[in-house]
Amino acid sequence: MIAKLKIKKLIYISSIAATKPRYKNFIYGICKRNLEESISQIDDLNYLIIRYGQIHTSMSKNHSNAPFSLSKEQAARKLFKLINQNGKKYASKPLLFSSLLIKFLPIKFINYIEGRN
């Protein structure tokens, strides 16, 4: 079906939440990760999955600012910088390193840090 649509490149805006779904955002994180995995398993698809931290939009206006948060304009610049690359990319190196740390920390420790003993 994808081949019939003649898609040259699929770009999926993802989130660091896909790294390891946790109590606070389990549904969001698991959905983001499942969609990433589904995209990466499509044969012969040229794709870019870009993981951001928080992006300041109307959807996030009532949320407190997270580390590595970006304005919409900053997020767009990051996307244009990475647009010719393929696979899964992070908006910044600090976000990549944080993602690796989150991935390998035990979920109980993450819950403890977030105050969810």
Average pLDDT of the residues of the chain:
85
In the chain, the percentage of residues whose pLDDT exceeds 90 is: 39
* Segment 67-93, tens digit of pLDDT: 778 888 999 999 999 999 999 999 989
Are the beta carbons of 99 and 59 closer than 8 angstroms? no
Is 2 inside a domain boundary?
A: no
Closest alpha carbon to 113 in 22, 34, 33: 22
- Alpha-carbon distance of 117 to 113, in angstroms, equals 8
Is 57 inside a domain boundary?
A: yes
Backbone angles phi, psi at 29, to 5 degrees: -65, -45
- Alpha-carbon distance of 43 to 82, in angstroms, equals 22
How many domains, in total, are found in the chain?
1
pLDDT band (50, 70, 90) for residue 102: confident
User: In which domain, by residue range, is 87 found?
Assistant: 10-113
Is 5 inside a domain boundary?
A: no
**Does the pLDDT value for residue 110 go beyond 80?**
no
pTM of the predicted model as reported, rounded to 2 decimal places: 0.80
Is 84 inside a domain boundary?
A: yes
Amino acid (one-letter) located at 81: K
Q: Say which CATH number the domain at 21 has.
A: 3.40.50.720
